Homo-oligomer: A and B are copies of this chain.
Amino acid sequence: MSLIERTPHHAPTVVIENFYPTLGDSSYLIKRVVNEPLHVTADIFTDGHVLLCAVLKYRRTNEQTWTEFSMQPRDNDQWAGQCTFDKCGRWEYVIEAWVDNWQTWKKHFKAKFDALDPEIAIEAREGARLLELTADRAKNAGAKNTSKELHELANMLRLLPLEHLIEVLMGDDLQSILDRFPDRTLSTISKSNHATIERERARFSAWYEFFPRSAKNQSGQHGSFRDCLPRLDDAKAMGFDVVYFPPIHPIGMSHRKGRNNTLTAHQDDVGSPWAIGSANGGHRSIEPALGTLNDFEWLVSEAKIRDLDIALDFAVNCSPDHPYVKEHPDWFHQREDGSIRYAENPPKKYQDIYPINFHCADWKALWRELIDVVLFWVKRGVKIFRVDNPHTKPVSFWEVLIAEVQAYDPEVLFLAEAFTKPRMMQGLGKIGFSQSYTYFTWRETKQELTEYATELTKTDMRWYYRANFWPNTPDILPHHLQHAGPAMFKIRAALAATLSSNWGIYSGYELCENQPLPGREEYLDSEKFEIKVRNWNSPDNIKGFIRVLNESRQSNAALQYYDNLHFHAAHHKDIIIYSKTTPDLSNRILIIINLSPSEVASDMVHLDMNALGLSNDAHYHVHDLIHGLRYKWHGASNYVSLDPSATFMHLFRIES
């Protein structure tokens, strides 16, 4: 069948292309939060000397009605518009464009009128016909008076001397009426793009991770949810808004790991929470020592009172004791001897973990069950999940899971804990993870930090990858923190909290815990395998500093945006300087940090004044929100001196 026969009504009349942003495959999701504008451009053109109209149309997936935004032409056939998505969920947006017969007529008519063209009367009748067609559309739309007025104008156009009408015809008032009833019968609609709109916490969040089983803070005692309020209050006092728990489910007994990841556990070893499942249940159950489902729901409600989200860990691992192993052995990888394959990365073995076979014959039931597990916790008030090692499960599985869960409750957010190769990390962002862990933990120098933060916030990654910067995790005590003092812990916290709008720490960071397993990037006596007791008010704690960081973030909207990062110039190798501003420049934050925890750094810094909305010779004040000091600055170049033992950084608000 020829292309002509395949075309249903009319052939495309307008070309719409280079629709931006689009992520290669238009099924990928552009990320925004509620009411955050998305600026859209496209090249829109057609044949001949006609004028076009174009609208950007957007609606929540599966809704009928479009919201429209009138696009405006810019240079070189590019048009611009913006969507503002006012509800959480998946949205679709398209461009509809058509030849604007009235504007085209006006342009031609005016040229002929000015040229005293003898055929102007025929053109006038053409204009009258366009008015009458518009009148009919107005009538169909219920605008009877407008319809009548347009008919009257059409009659005048057919009869009256044109001199009396030309001003009305060319005027904005008439145009605005015509614009309400455009003739779109021959319009062209672009392919669809898709956005996932999440609540603001997807873009702006501060996470605090702790193990509830350590909450009793007494030697040898297993903490429970009922012991967690002091930790919640402490996190809240430090300004965190997401409290994240490692898995809370029953922990397997078979091949349970001992302290420091040893292969044999003692009888009183609590095991790794990531080895999920025992005779007490699986992913829908709670480790009995932590309490009951009621206790958990009570804690979630207490968190809610404090405006804290409780984030759960979704780790699709099973211990050999998980109920699935008996009920669905086919969901795992079978070995030739009939046993189930445990996790391994030869020659390393993880006999306490059975990986799931996501592509088994019964995969549809398996995927359904795993999605239902997440929904089980969503129904109990959990609206954030930190997903463990998503890169070792199919990307397509996460795409389905996130879509289904967010269709049920679009407030639910997902953080991808994928420390792996770049393409996989990006791919997980593209298919819907709300936030992602990053390589920040290993970016140390000014150049490394600048390049990486620029890649995250200035390339196309800004549309789909929301970095969450963690200076530490239970798995990672990076070399620069090992045996380091509070100065280094403050530097890394300040970088994380201001380079990205999302950051988090694993508890103990505020106490500057710094003892590694020798030669490793892991903690000595890791909390993954034992219960910890801490002095939460130890002398060297940096809780006050973290509180000021988070308070600055909360009271300065500029720090709540993700892709507004802008680097400025400093020649000193240890001085990093960057700004974040709100789109309207009403809030402008300038951060200057000495990356050395031991050496004083003093030098001139050079601002990109334009990025800050300042003229090159402006006089302005910078107000350090950490130290409370104000300085008068002038022009782009100013002097700073940053002493690790005192003012090692400035978090300036620019007040001009």
A positions within 8 Å CB-CB of B: 2-5, 7, 10-13, 15, 17-19, 22, 24-25, 43, 45-49, 76-77, 107-108, 111-112, 114-115, 117, 122, 125-126, 128-129, 186, 191, 335-337, 339, 344-347, 355, 358-359, 363-364, 367-368, 371, 391-397, 399-400, 403-404, 421-424, 427, 430
CB contacts (< 8 Å) of A111 on chain B: these are 346-347
With A76-B423, A336-B122, A424-B45: A25-B191 Cβ-Cβ less than 8 Å:
yes
Q: How far, in whole Å, are A25 and B423 apart by their CA atoms in the complex?
A: 22
- CB < 8 Å neighbour of A25 from B17, B335, B358, B371: B17
Q: How far, in whole Å, are A371 and B2 apart by their CA atoms in the complex?
A: 11
CB contacts (< 8 Å) of A17 on chain B: these are 24-25, 423, 427, 430
- Determine the residue in chain B with the shortest Cβ distance to A27: B191
Report yes or no: B394 in contact with A13, Cβ–Cβ below 8 A.
yes
- CB < 8 Å neighbour of A404 from B2, B107, B114, B128: B2
Report yes or no: B4 in contact with A122, Cβ–Cβ below 8 A.
no
Report yes or no: A126 in contact with B427, Cβ–Cβ below 8 A.
no
Report yes or no: A47 in contact with B346, Cβ–Cβ below 8 A.
no
- Determine the residue in chain B with the shortest Cβ distance to A77: B423
Q: How far, in whole Å, are A20 and B466 apart by their CA atoms in the complex?
A: 25
With A3-B404, A5-B364: A77-B421 Cβ-Cβ less than 8 Å:
yes
Report yes or no: A76 in contact with B421, Cβ–Cβ below 8 A.
yes
Report yes or no: B47 in contact with A392, Cβ–Cβ below 8 A.
yes
CB contacts (< 8 Å) of A424 on chain B: these are 15, 45, 47, 77
- Determine the residue in chain B with the shortest Cβ distance to A397: B11
Q: How far, in whole Å, are A421 and B358 apart by their CA atoms in the complex?
A: 52
Q: How far, in whole Å, are A7 and B364 apart by their CA atoms in the complex?
A: 9
Q: How far is the CB of A134 from chain B (nearest CB, A)?
A: 16
Q: How far is the CB of A98 from chain B (nearest CB, A)?
A: 11
Report yes or no: B404 in contact with A115, Cβ–Cβ below 8 A.
no
- CB < 8 Å neighbour of A45 from B112, B355, B421: B421
Q: How far is the CB of A100 from chain B (nearest CB, A)?
A: 14
Report yes or no: A395 in contact with B12, Cβ–Cβ below 8 A.
yes
Report yes or no: A394 in contact with B46, Cβ–Cβ below 8 A.
yes
Q: How far, in whole Å, are A423 and B403 apart by their CA atoms in the complex?
A: 36
Q: Give 16 pairs: A residue, B residue, CB < 8 Å, sorted on A.
A: A7-B364, A11-B358, A11-B400, A12-B395, A15-B424, A17-B423, A45-B421, A45-B427, A47-B395, A48-B355, A76-B421, A107-B346, A117-B347, A122-B336, A122-B339, A128-B336
Q: How far is the CB of A29 from chain B (nearest CB, A)?
A: 14
Report yes or no: A346 in contact with B115, Cβ–Cβ below 8 A.
yes
- CB < 8 Å neighbour of A4 from B77, B400, B427: B400
Report yes or no: B46 in contact with A125, Cβ–Cβ below 8 A.
no
CB contacts (< 8 Å) of A344 on chain B: these are 108
Report yes or no: A347 in contact with B115, Cβ–Cβ below 8 A.
yes
Q: How far is the CB of A609 from chain B (nearest CB, A)?
A: 30
Q: How far, in whole Å, are A22 and B25 apart by their CA atoms in the complex?
A: 11
With A336-B126, A346-B112, A427-B15: A363-B10 Cβ-Cβ less than 8 Å:
yes
Q: How far, in whole Å, are A345 and B424 apart by their CA atoms in the complex?
A: 54
Q: How far is the CB of A188 from chain B (nearest CB, A)?
A: 9
Report yes or no: B3 in contact with A399, Cβ–Cβ below 8 A.
yes
CB contacts (< 8 Å) of A49 on chain B: these are 345
Report yes or no: B395 in contact with A15, Cβ–Cβ below 8 A.
yes
Report yes or no: B129 in contact with A76, Cβ–Cβ below 8 A.
no
Q: How far, in whole Å, are A7 and B396 apart by their CA atoms in the complex?
A: 11
* Other A-B pairs beyond A3-B403, A13-B359, A13-B394, 7, CB < 8 Å: A11-B358, A18-B24, A47-B395, A77-B423, A122-B337, A128-B336, A129-B336
Q: How far is the CB of A616 from chain B (nearest CB, A)?
A: 29
Q: How far is the CB of A206 from chain B (nearest CB, A)?
A: 30
- Choose among A25, A49, A337, A368 the residue with the greatest number of B CB atoms under 10 Å from its CB: A25
Q: How far, in whole Å, are A640 and B368 apart by their CA atoms in the complex?
A: 74
Q: How far is the CB of A419 from chain B (nearest CB, A)?
A: 14
CB contacts (< 8 Å) of A337 on chain B: these are 122, 125
- Choose among A22, A126, A368 the residue with the greatest number of B CB atoms under 10 Å from its CB: A126
Q: How far is the CB of A103 from chain B (nearest CB, A)?
A: 14
Smallest CB-CB A-B distances: 6 pairs: A111-B346, A125-B336, A115-B347, A12-B396, A77-B423, A11-B396
Q: How far, in whole Å, are A403 and B11 apart by their CA atoms in the complex?
A: 15
Q: How far, in whole Å, are A423 and B46 apart by their CA atoms in the complex?
A: 10
With A18-B24, A346-B112, A359-B10: A48-B392 Cβ-Cβ less than 8 Å:
yes
- Determine the residue in chain B with the shortest Cβ distance to A49: B345
Report yes or no: A4 in contact with B76, Cβ–Cβ below 8 A.
no
Q: How far is the CB of A23 from chain B (nearest CB, A)?
A: 9
- Determine the residue in chain B with the shortest Cβ distance to A421: B77
CB contacts (< 8 Å) of A403 on chain B: these are 3
CB contacts (< 8 Å) of A3 on chain B: these are 399-400, 403-404
Q: How far, in whole Å, are A216 and B632 apart by their CA atoms in the complex?
A: 86
Q: How far, in whole Å, are A638 and B171 apart by their CA atoms in the complex?
A: 66
- Determine the residue in chain B with the shortest Cβ distance to A338: B122
- CB < 8 Å neighbour of A347 from B112, B122, B368: B112
